[in-house]
Structure 1
Amino acid sequence: MELLFVCTGNTCRSSMAEALARKILAERPAGSGKMTVSSAGVEAWQDAPASPEALETLAGMGIDLTEHRATRLTAEIAGRAGLILTMTLAQRNYILSVFPQAAGKVFTLSEFTGADGDVPDPVGQPVAVYRRCAERLESLISRALDRLAASPEGFFAQN
């Protein structure tokens, strides 16, 4: 089971989401180990590092993001994922237009958790904005993982 987070450049939101999801899964009871987590960007510059603000924000949460390198979303990556969670509706719609075979497994993170709105891009903003973004991501990801765990066979078995 692969959970894929997608944003634009894979240096802020989706990279933070991937790291936060791994941390949350590691803190949960056994059984979460069946899930792998990754991230990509629809316009990522391949191998770009996480933004300095994302590094600082997650370091403050006890997460080391220094090894992260951006990955551009490809048909292979999208095809491998069992669930793709985007940060915005525009990203979701873009993925569905470019990779129509992903239909049924692509949602915005907010939509998947029953929340409203996009997760705004903090790029170019101060660290305080990144912290608010990370806090929102952490909350939404916890809810998404709760939803996945609540299904006896899991969401992935349905797709």
Structure 2
Amino acid sequence: MTRVLFVCTGNTCRSPMAEAILKSKNLPGIEVKSAGVYAMDGSAASENTRKVLAEHGIVFDSHQASMLNDELVSWTSYIITMTASHKAAVISMFPDAAGKIFTLKEFAIGNSKSDIADPFGGPIEQYRHTYNEMNDMMIKIIQRLQTENR
């Protein structure tokens, strides 16, 4: 079983969107969760996140934000962050997990210099752009996970 944990700041926009996209693929042997480095436990996914996911046939209404914690770090095979600064924050919080922490683009295409921009507070078009960017990267992530899951 491969376990993936997506991490962003508040666990209301990017990381739940990534979680929902990967979960929607219904891949056997892969479990997915998300968390935030500064999340308020119990917060819902942002309205625009839910709207954009719904535009793609993904219902994600029951999401509740989670603060990154020891239990999630122990649970996961990979921690995939949205930005290099998230990666640095997670490494400083959980240095023993450094070997399983990657940015999304680093994990997908080996590019650790490029981040997934935060659409928080922006118009729905920004959320659509974020969705499209992550969905494109998810193809590469899935290929890597399936290769490693054999």
The TM-score bracket by the shorter chain reads: over 0.9
SS of 1:36's partner is: strand
Pairwise CA distance, 1:76: 1.5
Q: Which amino acid aligns with 1:89?
A: A
> 135, 145, 148: which one pairs with 1:148?
145
5+ long unaligned stretches in structure 1: 27-31, 154-159
The aligned counterpart of 1:98 is: 93
Q: 1: CA distance between counterparts of 2:19 and 2:149?
A: 24
Q: Which amino acid aligns with 1:37?
A: V
Residue correspondences, number: 147
Pairwise CA distance, 1:79: 1.5
SS of 2:67's partner is: coil
> 40, 60, 71: which one pairs with 2:55?
60
Q: 2: CA distance between counterparts of 1:85 and 1:151?
A: 16
- Indicate the percent of aligned positions where both proteins have the same amino acid: 38
The aligned counterpart of 2:131 is: 134
The aligned counterpart of 1:124 is: 121
The aligned counterpart of 1:29 is: none
Is residue 17 of structure 1 aligned with residue 18 of structure 2?
Answer: yes
Q: 2: CA distance between counterparts of 1:137 and 1:12?
A: 12
SS of 1:67's partner is: coil
TM-score, normalised to structure 1, is 0.88
After superposition, residues 25-104 of structure 1 pair within 5 angstroms as 26=26, 32-104=27-99
Structure 1 runs of 4+ with >2 Å offset:
150-153
1:8-52 CA-to-partner distances (Å, cap 9, x unmatched) read 00000000000000112x2xxxxx321100000000010000101
Give RMSD over aligned pairs. 1.2
Whether contact under 8 Å (2:29, 2:149) holds in the other structure is no
SS of 1:33's partner is: coil
